[in-house]
């Protein structure tokens, strides 16, 4: 048995998506898969996690009393047990289908990239146990939920939390300028929860900010020319700079870059989106700045996750 979950990137609406702003998000060709097999012990769950081909976590857990019989990382085992305990409360006796199971997760990306190791894990478990994924997310990691929506989306989505509930709409986003978009890893993995906590503590976000980001997302999706997107990047970064009381990533690190740079997700961490005119020249620029991990749009967004 194999189950698949997509990684994610948030193109618009970072931070504000938690306040109800409309966001454009992309499911990726990178993600995790869950494989289920039996084991010989009727009380024990064996769990193996692979980062590409390298095992990075292993545990054996008695699922009846949540005793960790062996583990490669106690902190990760404790976090896994917290998630399993939530599932047990949601599923009751059906939880014990885990008896004598061997679960293996495999990613096809490095976790330091911040492409959704947590959200894909929750999606995999929600699919396996037939749980509403947002219910599991809300009771474990929390957050806006856009990443969980991306995990099973077939293409780009507009995502929004409203008073009536979550709105997830698959949309067409396959821009002709996609070859002029680059995703650059900054080498600074950020904790999303602590970043959101800092954002919330500033308490600068107003209704007009949410409306402004709704407009940015809607115009971004309709943009036909790269220059339009670059204007929207400036508008988004400028407004977020005020809300976060911080300089933009371009001001801090890429002031001499001739085109646009936009933070994706936590401010200053994980990936940035950069526009370019000459792709090879841009890649050389970011490498010269100490950022050798650069992906093109086609490398990050697979053809089967872009609606035609």
CATH topology of domain 2-170: Ribosomal Protein S5; domain 2 (3.30.230)
Q: What is the pLDDT of residue 197?
A: 64
CB-count burial class (<10 Å; 0-12, 13-18, 19+) for 276: buried
pLDDT at 224: 95
Q: Supply the mean pLDDT for the chain.
A: 91
**Higher pLDDT, residue 265 or 214:** 214
Q: So where are the chain's domains?
A: 2-170, 178-305
Q: What is the pLDDT of residue 308?
A: 37
Which one, of 249, 253, 267, lies nearest residue 198 by Cα?
267
Report the sign of the C-alpha dihedral through residues 258, 263, 264, 270, in that order.
positive
> pLDDT tens digits, residue range 106-148?
999 999 898 999 999 999 999 999 999 999 999 999 889 999 9
- pLDDT higher than threshold 80 for residue 94: yes
Asked if CATH classification 3.30.70.890 holds for the domain at 178-305, the reply, yes or no, is yes
Spatial distance between the Cα atoms of 232 and 260, rounded to a whole number of angstroms:
10
Tokens in use for 37? 């097999």
pLDDT score for 293: 94
Contacts 24+ apart (CB under 8 A), 201-206: 202/243, 202/244, 202/245, 204/242, 204/243, 204/245, 205/15, 205/16, 205/19, 205/243
pLDDT of 232 > 90? The answer is yes
Quick one: pLDDT at residue 143? Answer: 87
The mean pLDDT of 253-282, rounded to a whole number, is: 90
**pLDDT > 70 fraction of the chain, expressed in percent and rounded:** 91
pLDDT of 299 > 90? The answer is yes
């Amino acid at each position: 048995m194999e189950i698949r979950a997509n990684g994610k990137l948030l193109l618009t609406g970072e931070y504000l998506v938690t306040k109800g702003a409309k966001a454009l998000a992309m499911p990726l060709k990178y993600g995790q898969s869950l494989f289920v097999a039996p084991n010989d012990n009727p009380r024990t769950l064996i769990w193996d996690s692979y980062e590409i081909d390298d095992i990075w976590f292993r545990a054996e857990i008695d699922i009846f009393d949540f005793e960790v019989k062996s583990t490669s990382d106690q902190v990760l085992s404790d976090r896994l047990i917290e998630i399993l305990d939530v599932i047990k409360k949601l599923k009751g006796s059906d939880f014990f289908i885990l008896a004598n199971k061997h679960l293996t997760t495999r990613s096809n990306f490095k976790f330091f990239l911040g492409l959704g190791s947590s959200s894909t894990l929750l999606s995999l478990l929600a699919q396996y146990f037939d749980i509403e994924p947002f219910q599991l997310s809300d009771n474990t990691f929390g957050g806006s939920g856009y990443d969980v929506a991306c995990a099973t989306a077939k293409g780009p989505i507009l995502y929004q939390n409203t008073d009536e509930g979550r709105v997830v709409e698959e949309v067409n986003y396959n821009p002709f300028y996609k070859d002029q978009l680059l995703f650059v890893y900054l080498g600074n993995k950020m904790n999303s929860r602590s970043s959101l906590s800092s954002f919330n503590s500033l308490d600068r976000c107003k209704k007009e900010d949410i409306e402004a980001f709704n407009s940015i997302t809607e115009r971004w999706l309709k943009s036909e020319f790269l220059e339009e997107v670059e204007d929207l990047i400036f508008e988004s970064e400028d407004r977020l700079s005020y809300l976060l009381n911080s300089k933009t990533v371009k001001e801090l690190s890429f002031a001499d870059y001739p085109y646009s740079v936009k933070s994706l997700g936590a401010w200053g961490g994980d990936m940035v989106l950069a526009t370019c005119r000459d792709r090879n020249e841009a890649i050389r620029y970011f490498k010269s700045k100490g950022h050798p991990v650069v992906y093109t749009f086609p490398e990050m967004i697979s053809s089967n996750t872009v609606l035609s």
